[in-house]
Amino acid sequence: MSLIIEYSWWFFLLCLLLGVGYAFLLYYKNKNIIYGKTMRIIMASLRGTVITLIAFLLLAPMLKFLTKQKEKPIIVVAVDNSESLKLGKDSSFYINKLTANLNQLIHSFGNNYNVRPCLIGEKVRFLQAEQPISLDYSDKQTNISEVFDNVAQNYTNQNLGAVILLTDGIFNVGANPFYKIEPLNCPIYTVGLGNTELETDQLISSIQHNKQTFQGNFFPVEVNVMATKLAGKKSLLTVEDKEGNEVFKKELMITGDNYFETVRFNLQAGEKGIYRYHVNLIELENEITYKNNHATFFVEVIDSKEKIAIIYNSPHPDIAAIKQALELSDKYEVEAVAAQNFRMNPEDYSLIILHQLPSLQNNISSLLSDIQNKGISCLYILGKQTNLTAFNKLNSGVLISQNKTLFNDAFPLLNNNFSLFTLSEDIKQIISTFPPLYTFFGDYKLTVSSNVLMYQKINTVSTDYPLIFFNQVAGRKIGVITGDGIWQWKIHNFIAKNNHEQFNELINKMALFLSVKADRSFFRVHTKNLFNETEDVRFSAELYNESYELISEPDVLMTISSEDGKQYKSLFSKEENHNYSLRMSNLPSGEYHWEASTNIGAKNYLKTGTFVVKEVELEIQNLVADHELLQNIAQKSGGEFYTPNNMDQLVEDIKKNDEITSIVSYHKIYNHLLNSWLYFVVLILLMGSEWFLRKWGGGY
Q: What is the pLDDT of residue 89?
A: 77
The residues that bridge with 665 in the sheet, in sequence order, are: 69
Q: What is the pLDDT of residue 270?
A: 87
CA 559 to mean position of chain CA atoms: 30
The residues that bridge with 612 in the sheet, in sequence order, are: 530, 591
Residue 304 confidence (pLDDT) above 90: no
Residue 36, classified by CB atoms within 10 Å of its CB into exposed (0-12), middle (13-18) or buried (19+), is exposed
Q: What is the pLDDT of residue 489?
A: 97
Q: Would you list the domain boundaries of the chain? A: 2-67+669-696, 73-188+626-661, 201-302, 306-515, 523-618
Q: Tell me the backbone φ, ψ of residue 519, rounded to 5 degrees.
A: -90, 120
Q: Give the C-alpha separation, 166 to 152, whole Å.
A: 18
CATH of domain 523-618: 2.60.40.10
Give every strand in the sheet of 351-355, ordered side by side: 332-338, 306-312, 351-355, 377-381, 476-481, 461-473, 451-458, 407-414, 437-440, 483-484
Nearest residue to 382 (alpha-carbon basis) of 358, 402, 363: 358
Q: What is the pLDDT of residue 691?
A: 81
Q: Give the C-alpha separation, 227 to 255, whole Å.
A: 9
- Please state which of the ranges 167-171, 497-501, 529-533 shows the lowest mean pLDDT: 529-533
CB neighbourhood size of 22 (10 A): 17
201-302 to CATH, choices 2.40.30.270, 1.10.10.60, 2.60.40.10, 3.40.190.10: 2.60.40.10
Do the beta carbons of residue 493 and residue 499 sit within 8 Å?
A: yes
Three-state DSSP at 101 gives: helix
Do the beta carbons of residue 541 and residue 525 sit within 8 Å?
A: yes
Q: What are the angstrom distances between the C-alpha of 695 and each of 191, 681, 689, 691, 700? A: 83, 21, 10, 6, 6
Q: Give the C-alpha separation, 634 to 292, whole Å.
A: 31
Tens digit of each residue's pLDDT (9 = 90 or more) over 70-99: 889 999 999 999 998 888 777 888 888 899
Tens digit of each residue's pLDDT (9 = 90 or more) over 417-469: 998 888 888 999 999 999 999 999 999 999 999 999 999 999 999 999 999 99
Tens digit of each residue's pLDDT (9 = 90 or more) over 251-294: 999 999 999 999 999 999 988 888 999 999 999 999 988 989 99
Q: What is the pLDDT of residue 268?
A: 92
Arithmetic mean of pLDDT, 335-344: 94
CATH fold for domain 73-188+626-661? Rossmann fold (3.40.50)
Instruction: pLDDT band for 375, please (50, 70, 90 cuts).
Output: confident
Do the beta carbons of residue 222 and residue 262 sit within 8 Å?
A: yes
Contacts of 658 (CB under 8 A, 6+ apart): none
Tens digit of each residue's pLDDT (9 = 90 or more) over 6-37: 778 888 888 888 888 877 777 776 655 666 67
**Mean pLDDT computed over every residue of the chain:** 90
Tens digit of each residue's pLDDT (9 = 90 or more) over 665-676: 777 887 887 888
**73-188+626-661 and 306-515 agree in CATH topology:** yes
Q: What is the pLDDT of residue 537?
A: 94
CB neighbourhood size of 617 (10 A): 21
Q: What is the pLDDT of residue 33?
A: 60
**HEC assignment per residue over 35-60:** CCHHHHHHHHHHHHHHHHHHHHHHHC
CATH of domain 306-515: 3.40.50.880
